[in-house]
Structure 1
Amino acid sequence: MEETEWAARAAKGDQEAFIRLMELHKATLYRTAFAFLKDQHASIEAVQEVTARAYKAVRRLKNPAFAKTWLTRIMINYCQDELKRRGREPSSDRLPDPGARDAYDRFELDEALEALPGESRRLIHLKYFEEMKIREIAELEQIPEGTVKSRLHYSLRQLREFFTGKGGNADV
């Protein structure tokens, strides 16, 4: 059975279908939570909380084809609420894993992403780390596809400038 069928059955109250749907998307949800919260334990807790919230609201899922988008939106909202509750942005003082082969590159990428405004970071994460299509991002963010494209273009230009040494200040 494919994702859309699981989502449709879950929306009709099938608990097993809901469990299958969550199993399909738990890795994506975890990565999204970690991108915002920057903490493994908080990310696991976020997946648990989003699972509970989705279970309570699954009957309101209007279009089963957009189940992943719907779940991701719940996760983003939860993470933003959590960051507001903490009263701060995610920490950027993380050190790379010394055993990782590309630790320096990853650290540099993290630093560049942290220099971007929150909205730009979110779009970059959805497009390039979660591999969502422009259409899905537009639906998720509730903005036109053209706006997603232009904001991604601008964000990528800011990253390029950061890496070529022309920038470093993404607020420009």
Structure 2
Amino acid sequence: MLFQDKVKKAKRGNDKAFQELIEAEKEKLYRMAYLYVKNESDAIDIVHETIYKAYISIKKLKETNYFSNWLTRILINTALDFKKK
């Protein structure tokens, strides 16, 4: 299945498509979170929170081509919020 098709399915509420998209991005998300917090367990928490935020707001994603960028932006904002606490 094409990447854009998965994003479209996920936007329509297909949990399996969303899960597959996240699996493809998870390693990158973890590495990026780790760069921000320099701690394994905090990085994992940030990734989980990012996935949750993406799941509840995926219908707001306007351009399917930018799913990866959108997800990365959520992660960066989540990591920055975490560092402020």
TM bucket by the smaller chain? Answer: over 0.9
Corresponding residue number in structure 2 for 1:126: none
Rounded Cα–Cα distance in structure 2 between residues aligned with 1:4 and 1:33:
25
- For the pair 1:63 / 2:69, whether they are aligned, the reply is no
**What are the Cα deviations for residues 64-118 of structure 1, in whole angstroms up to 9, with x where unaligned?**
1100000000000000001111xxxxxxxxxxxxxxxxxxxxxxxxxxxxxxxxx
Corresponding residue number in structure 1 for 2:36: 36
- For the pair 1:82 / 2:82, whether they are aligned, the reply is yes
Q: Which has the higher contact order (CA 8 A, sep 6+)?
A: 2
TM-score by length of 2: 0.95
Superposition RMSD on alpha carbons, in Å?
0.8
Percentage identity across paired residues of the two chains? 34
**Which is greater in Rg?**
1
Corresponding residue number in structure 1 for 2:16: 16
List 4+ stretches of structure 1 deviating above 6 A: none
TM-score by length of 1: 0.48
Q: How many residues align?
A: 85
Alignment of 1:42-61 (within 5 A): 42-61=42-61
Unaligned runs of 5+ in 1: 86-172
**What are the Cα deviations for residues 104-135 of structure 1, in whole angstroms up to 9, with x where unaligned?**
xxxxxxxxxxxxxxxxxxxxxxxxxxxxxxxx
